[in-house]
Amino acid sequence: APVMAEKLGLGRQATEAEIAAWNLDVFPDGSNLPDGQGDVLTGEEVFAEHCAACHGDFAEGAGNWPKLAGGVDTLADEDPLKTVGSYWPYLSTSFDYVRRSMPFGGAQTMSNDDVYAIVAYILYSNDLVDEDFTLSKETFMSVEMPNSDGFIVDGREETEYGAFTNRCMEGCKPEVVKITKNVVFPG
């Protein structure tokens, strides 16, 4: 089998410390979470200092920056509001993403405790936990994400591919073609 292909002997073994430094993945079941914890009230302070300038005091968003809270039950609306509370299926993604990539411009400067606290505050801002909640490895899986069942695996094979095969060449629609929408920003 191709997986038994001969090796060239290039590269060298990665050390455990190297792998730990780069492998920050947190999975939906909470595995690979670091030690630590943070509560809502601590999170409110950390969020105010490091996050609120862009995401608002209550995670409701400032200016054109992403809103992290609100929007529950809007996903079928004309203008859905997709936030951690209304859209994100797994809490693990919030922890993973905040720890890896936030704050914008100062990523990977927060302690694990600060990240736990920030995520706890985002949950509180979405009315998903009470103000005395402490987020940790132990409490992680107790949080129910409202849209955890909102995703289906790509269904184009069933719903589209069979239907999009008609190569009509003549008389493909009524002869009079009219403009139904004109360009909004003519430039």
Partner 1 sequence: MVDSSTKQGASRRAFLKGAAATGAALGSVGAAKAASDDPLITEVQDWTSGLGDGVDATPYGMPIEYEGDVVRRTVEWLTADQISSINFTPIHALDGTITPQGCAFERHHSGAITLKKEDYRLMINGLVDTPLVFTYEDLERFPRVTQTFFLECAANTGMEWAGAQLNGSQYTHGMIHNMEYTGVTLRTLLEEAGLGAMGAIKDKWVYVEGADASSNGRSIPLEKALDDCMIAFKANGEALRMEHGYPVRLVVPGWEGNMWVKWLRRIEIMDRPVESREETSKYTDTLADGTSRKWTWVMDAKSVITSPSPQMPIKHGKGPLVITGLAWSGRGAITAVDVSLDGGVTWQEARLAEPGKPMAMSRFYLDINWQGEEMFLQSRAMDDTGYVQPTKTQLREVRGLNSIYHNNCIQTWHVNANGEANNVEVS
Q: Of the listed pieces 37-45, 121-129, 131-139, 145-153, which binds partner 1 according to CB under 8 A?
A: 145-153
Verify binding: residue 17, partner 1, rule CB under 8 A: no
CA distances to 5, 21, 56, 60, 149 from 66, in Å: 47, 28, 9, 8, 23
- Kindly state the smallest distance separating residue 131's Cβ from partner 1, in Å: 25
Do residues 75 and 154 lie in contact, with contact meaning Cβ atoms separated by under 8 Å?
A: no
Verify binding: residue 104, partner 1, rule CB under 8 A: yes
Q: Which is nearer to partner 1, 42 or 110 (CB)?
A: 110
With CB under 8 A as the contact rule, the residue among 93, 134, 136, 139 that binds partner 1 is 93
Do residues 31 and 92 lie in contact, with contact meaning Cβ atoms separated by under 8 Å?
A: no
Verify binding: residue 13, partner 1, rule CB under 8 A: yes
CA distance 107 to 94: 14
Q: Which is nearer to partner 1, 36 or 61 (CB)?
A: 61
Helices 91-101 & 112-125 angle (0-180, nearest 10) = 130
Verify binding: residue 76, partner 1, rule CB under 8 A: yes
Q: Which is nearer to partner 1, 45 or 62 (CB)?
A: 62
Verify binding: residue 63, partner 1, rule CB under 8 A: yes
Q: What is the torsional sign of CA 104, 108, 111, 113?
A: positive
